[in-house]
Amino acid sequence: MEIDKKHVLLTGASGGIGQALALALAAKGARLTLIGRRAEPLETLCTGLSGEGHRVLTLDLNDMAARAELAQKLGEQPLDILINCAGSNQLGWLSDQTEYEIEQQLRINLLVPMLLTRQLLNRLNPKQALIVNIGSSFGAIGYPGYTAYCAAKFGLRGFSEALRRELSNTSTKVIYIAPRATDTALNSESVRAMNQILGNRMDSPETVAAVVLRSIARERTETYIGWPERLFVLINKLNSAPVTRAIRGQLEIIRRYAIEARSER
Ligand SMILES: NC(=O)c1ccc[n+]([C@@H]2O[C@H](COP(=O)([O-])OP(=O)(O)OC[C@H]3O[C@@H](n4cnc5c(N)ncnc54)[C@H](OP(=O)(O)O)[C@@H]3O)[C@@H](O)[C@H]2O)c1
């Protein structure tokens, strides 16, 4: 899909990947509705965007009433692209996470994108529209310390596939993009230290944004970012045993950082 002059609703716009995406989309001529909870970074971002007609809507996506008001606030003009980018996670063993933490991760990474998409379906441009769900490589590889986040992102991938098929006789397409570790505030100091020790590479948010723009342009159904993560995803799908063995070798290190991450909170 061409990005020029398209109306894009972007959740998670105040975050690392969201901000990079907003800048890249605006530079290509998109008109953006930016969503997040923190007004200050959203307003600063909005002021610095190229082009005109951008705006900020500050809301907590977990709040049902605020979500319901969103469609009214959007006004008359149809939405061309909906990008579900808001998300959060917490490194920690399942037994150490509270019910609230588990619920929150499932909510913002899975339930909110589903409910928001459902709510905005009738606001999408009937001629051509795109729903972009930002997943994770943890949406295809179950990883210790991220049980709730993995469950949510696996779910988001399933939701994307099912909705894509449900809408396959319409002009709305659904794409799913899975970044690997990315240099944003999502990753705490412990997670960064763990990634360094394990040799996990981190992309810049700008790299992720560039891939998202390419995936939108090509309407690529599923995109996994980074090598060797793409290879692990493929192997894990075909035969998960070698991936399980490799992760078993990392388990003590992950456990150590999961305990450290818990004490940071
Ligand atoms: N960074 C990574 O390593 C990585 C890797 C793979 C996938 N991803 C995915 O990429 C997406 C963006 O992550 P990021 O790295 O940019 O994270 P980030 O910098 O922590 O930003 C998270 C964004 O989500 C928003 N958000 C969270 N809860 C919200 C709520 N209840 N209501 C409204 N907005 C909410 C935040 O808004 P406020 O800050 O204003 O509250 C912020 O804009 C997420 O879906 C994440 O799962 C990230």
CATH number at residue 134: 3.40.50.720
Question: pLDDT-derived band of residue 239, with 50, 70 and 90 as boundaries?
Answer: very high
Supply 67's token pair.
Answer: 């979500």
The pLDDT of 242-253, averaged and rounded, is 97
Tell me: pLDDT of 72 over 90: no
Q: Which domain holds residue 148?
A: 7-264
Q: pLDDT by residue (tens digit) across 82-100?
A: 999 999 999 999 999 999 9
Q: For residue 12, how far is its CA from the centre of ligand 1 (angstroms)?
A: 5
Q: Which of 184, 211, 223 to mutate to test the pocket of ligand 1 (most atoms within 8 A of CB)?
A: 184
Index of the ligand 1 atom closest to the CA of residue 181: 3
Q: What integer pLDDT is reported at residue 75 of this predicted model?
A: 83
Distance (Å, whole) CA 220 – CA 133: 12
Question: Directed axis angle between helix 39-48 and helix 16-27, to 10°?
Answer: 20
What confidence tens digit (pLDDT) does each residue in 162-213 have?
999 999 999 999 999 999 999 999 999 999 999 999 999 999 999 999 999 9
CA distance 86 to 18: 8
Backbone φ/ψ region at 54: left (φ over 0), alpha (ψ -120 to 50), beta: beta
The reply to whether 176 belongs to the active site is no
**Per DSSP, what are the bridge partners of residue 33?**
9, 55
What local confidence, expressed as pLDDT, does residue 167 receive?
Answer: 98
Is the C-beta atom of 17 inside 6 A of ligand 1?
A: yes
| Residue 40 in domain | yes
Number of domains in the chain: 1
Atom of ligand 1 nearest to the CA of 109: 45
Which uninterrupted H or E stretch holds 84?
strand 81-84
Average pLDDT, the chain: 97
* Averaged pLDDT, 8-20: 98
Q: Please check whether residue 193 lies inside any domain of the structure.
A: yes
Q: Residue 79 and residue 88: Cα distance in Å, rounded?
A: 25
- Catalytic residue among 100, 143, 146, 149, which? 149
Burial class (CB within 10 angstroms; exposed 0-12, middle 13-18, buried 19+) of 244: exposed
